[in-house]
Amino acid sequence: MTGFVTFVSAGPGDPDLLTVKAVKALAAADAILFDDLSSGPILALARPGADLVGVGKRAGRPSPKQDHVSRLLVDYALTGAQVVRLKSGDSGIFGRLEEELTAVRAAGIGCTIIPGVTSASAAAAAAGIPLTRRIHAQRVQFITAADTTGDLPPGLNLEALADPQATTVIYMGKRTFPTLAAALIDRGLAPDTPALLAEAVSTPDQRLHRSTISALAQVLAEDRSSLPGLIIFGALADGVAD
């Protein structure tokens, strides 16, 4: 009998930010294939005896290939298992969800997706800011600043990213931010545009660093921690106006 795959979005790391539906799926799973950033206390919600398999990818570290992860999902489900693919943040935002959905569906296996809190929302909440503001920040844009090689992706719409009336959130961009910031400043974005670096959001290691795009680029060019982080820049990044 063929099993079933549930793609569970784990949120940014705090188990309290899981949805009720996600908690139920974890408790019912025979096997959980988890990312590095969705491990730790969240895995304590798995039922006793469930197989826990780490398949996470981290920049600069040995990681399983995507086709291997997809194959594991299919193989577990073909045994009749209820499988949870536990992904950090929201699985549909820079989470390689599409490749795994394609593999599961091609094998004739049923699946469903449980959405979750993306790191952008969690970081903004931790910093006490909204992501939008009438008139001054009517648009939010999410980008990844690392391609499969870890470099700045080609073809980024730099003109859109330099829009001072947008809130921009950069995932996986600490290493490439100095290059990106220079390109945006060349396209007219003010060097003193507020920027927020949020690391290990919602975990005991959380760090929030308010700066400007120019100053943050210099900081990240000289020193970067190993903590997972994202960058928010735009008018709202320095806090809510009084």
Domains of the chain: 4-114 (3.40.1010.10), 119-233 (3.30.950.10)
Average pLDDT (150-173) is 94
Q: Is the C-alpha dihedral spanning 67, 121, 153, 220 positive or negative?
A: negative
pLDDT in tens, 12-50: 999 999 999 999 999 999 999 999 877 789 999 999 999
Lowest mean pLDDT among 5-19, 55-69, 98-112, 226-240: 55-69
Q: Report pLDDT for 26.
A: 97
Closest of 92, 105, 103, 208 to residue 142, by C-alpha: 92
pLDDT in tens, 112-125: 999 999 999 999 99
Q: Report pLDDT for 61.
A: 53
Average pLDDT (100-106) is 96
Alpha carbons 235 and 212: distance in angstroms, whole number: 10
Average pLDDT (127-138) is 89
Mean pLDDT for the chain? Answer: 92
Q: Report pLDDT for 123.
A: 97
**Percent of the chain clearing pLDDT 90 (strictly above):** 81
Q: Report pLDDT for 8.
A: 97
The three-state DSSP-derived secondary structure of 42-54 is HHHHCCCCCEEEE
Neighbours of 235 (CB within 10 A): 15
Strands annotated E in 36-149: 51-54, 82-87, 110-114, 139-144
Average pLDDT (180-194) is 97
**Percent of the chain clearing pLDDT 70 (strictly above):** 95
Is a pLDDT exceeding 60 seen at residue 196? yes
Q: What is the pTM of this model?
A: 0.90
Q: Report pLDDT for 241.
A: 46
Active site residues: 35, 57, 172
